[in-house]
Amino acid sequence: MGSLPIQATETIRFGTEATYPPFEFLDENNELTGFDIDLAKAICAEIKAECTFSNQPFDSLIPSLRYRRFDAVIAGMDITPDRQEQVDFSMPYFENSASFVAAKNQPFKSAADLKGKAVGVQNGSTFQTYMIDKFEKHGVTIRPYETIQNAFLDMTNGRVDAVFSDTAVANDWLLERGKGEYGHLGETIRDAEYFGVGYGIAVRQKDALKDKIDTALSTLKANGTWQTIHDKYFPE
Ligand code: ARG
């Protein structure tokens, strides 16, 4: 029997920002892991493509996608009208909401009490835009950080009074590092204008990759793979 022809496989190059557990982070062996990473690998398996990942600052992900440094972004990224002017998104793959986190032993008990306080956000995130639009005029100082973990760290050091981020990421931090001393400040926020309708995988506008990813996502939702990945990172 002759040897099989060598099949050229498609490679999908993903960009991400991996300090965002449980969606994307480096494990104790410095391996990239998380809900988004497992989902991206499952999508690649469906499409029969190879997957590669680059890790870089969040605010550089959309510019790098447009410059073709990679083909897709999976980074807990909200599908917002603003971003849709620059990139296309897959169907939503995760339901999101926004949360403030602060120390339990302080006098402010709701977001309305943040006047005169400093709030940490991730640079380039939807939380940064929301804070600038809705809170800056009420005397709240907004401090952008390259990673949300540094914002949380600065909160524990007393340099910011609260952190505003994704509820699932806030919950992960509260569980791992909050030591029971920190909690949610007020209600979680859903505002489609700012936080869109869930997380999506970004691709370049009109790229046929979008349809392939959507087909794969539909299959993974229908056959239970999405749920298995979900339960791995969000155990009851
Ligand atoms: N969900 C927020 C946004 O879309 C923040 C995402 C940050 N993701 C990350 N991998 N650091 O702007």
Q: Is 175 found in the same domain as 64?
A: no
Same domain, 117 and 182: yes
Range of the domain at 90: 11-94+196-233
| Nearest-5° Cα angle at 63, 153 to 136 | 50
Q: Indicate if ligand 1 lies below 6 Å from the C-beta of 131.
A: no
Same domain, 84 and 127: no
Do residue 68 and residue 127 come from a single domain?
A: no
* pLDDT for residue 110: 84
- 54 and 80 in a single domain? The answer is yes
Task: Assess whether pLDDT exceeds 70 at residue 108.
Answer: yes
Contacts of 197 (CB under 8 A, 6+ apart): 79, 92
ipTM score above 0.95? yes
The answer on 104 and 153 residing in a single domain is yes
β-pairing, 24-26 with 19-20?
A: antiparallel
CB 62 within 8 A of CB 87: yes
58 CB within 6 A, ligand 1:
yes
Structure tokens at 63: 């510019």
Place 228 in a pLDDT band, splitting at 50, 70 and 90.
very high
Q: Are residues 104 and 145 in the same domain?
A: yes
Total domain count for the chain?
Answer: 2
Q: What is the mean pLDDT of residues 98-123?
A: 92
Residue 1 lies in a domain: no
Same domain, 31 and 90: yes
Q: Is residue 158 part of a domain?
A: yes
- 3 assigned to some structural domain: no
Distance between CA atoms of 46 and 214, rounded to whole angstroms? 11
The percent of residues in the chain predicted with pLDDT above 70, rounded, is: 97
pLDDT at 9: 78
Looking at residue 7, its pLDDT comes to 61
- Whether residues 68 and 86 share a domain: the answer is yes
Residue 49 is part of a domain; what is its CATH number? Answer: 3.40.190.10
According to the model, what pLDDT value does residue 5 have? 60
Residue 2 is assigned to a structural domain of this protein: no
pLDDT tens figures, 18-50: 999 999 999 999 999 999 999 999 999 999 999
Per-residue pLDDT at 129 exceeds 60: yes
CB 79 within 8 Å of CB 92? yes
Assess whether the C-beta atom of 130 lies below 6 angstroms from ligand 1: no
Please report, as a single letter, which amino acid is at residue 17: E
* 119 in any annotated domain: yes
Q: 107: pLDDT confidence band, cut at 50, 70 and 90?
A: confident
Same domain? 125 vs 53: no
pLDDT of 4: 62
* Residue-wise pLDDT tens digits, 50-64: 999 999 999 999 999
> Residue 186: left (phi > 0), alpha (psi -120 to 50), or beta?
left
The helices-and-strands tally (H runs, E runs) of the chain is 9, 13
> Which of 24, 74, 77 most suits a substitution to test ligand 1, by most atoms within 8 Å of the C-beta?
77
